[in-house]
Structure 1
Amino acid sequence: MLTITQALVDQIVEHARRDHPDEACGVVAGPVGSGRPERFIPMLNAARSPTFYEFDSQDLLKLYRDMDDRDEEPVVIYHSHTATEAYPSRTDISYANEPGAHYVLVSTADADGLGDFQFRSYRIVDGEVTEEPVQVVDAYPAA
């Protein structure tokens, strides 16, 4: 199960809305081994595409160096789908290379209408996709 704060959900959805009609992408980092998403890191979709996202290789290298310096790891890797439901595509599955991460998808298919946004989380390990429940909390319990 993904437990995530409402503030982070709001930031992810706002990023997806802002970049629509292109796919948005980013990471939420957290302390190594905690499984707790804490630091929102929106990224630039280098593909600038409504049907595909790609992290810029230089930006990704900087991100991983920064996370290493902070003893963090990618807890959530998110992106949006602009015309389809929030379910990983074959391309998404093939690029999923962080088996410990939660892969969050936000659908902005109804962004220009009055429809609700889909916010769903998956584990993707060795090409196998498993949807997981999402628990949205106001704050994390004290450690």
Structure 2
Amino acid sequence: MIRVGICRCAWGKTFPGNGDGGGSVRYGDLDPLGRTTGIEATITEDMIGTGTAPKRSIYPPGFEGGWKGGPGHARGHLLGKQLGGRGDDPRNLVTIYQNGPNSPVMRDFENIIRSAVESGEIVTYKSTPIYSGNNPVPIGITMEAAGTGGFSLNVSI
């Protein structure tokens, strides 16, 4: 794996999970180019399925649309919707190609994390976009997760 321009996160406000099961999310601040820098979360079962779809009025840097004949971009969640990720916060949305990277690849890894949480694990999760220089669109996203029952995931897509 080649890592290029890993972004350092300047962590913003911590948000409680959507329920009262102890989960939380920290969204990194946007960098000077307006790009997302990453998220850290403690994912608990009460957060599962509580996320929101990406808000259509949010245009992450480099987003040129996903319409037919367009570049095939998506507003990708760093903390997936199925894991409680917000679609109304620009710090959680990054430009990603829909076919392939977003779905099925990132979605499938998020579903593996969801399964670990639904089986009783509390999962610490970190998702970090990888940028090349000033490119507004990440060349990859690193997903790291560790559960209280031994679950572990570390991939870059």
* TM-score, normalised by the number of residues in structure 1: 0.30
Higher relative contact order (CA 8 A, sep 6+): 1
Give the TM-score taking structure 2 as reference length.
Answer: 0.28
More helix by share: 1
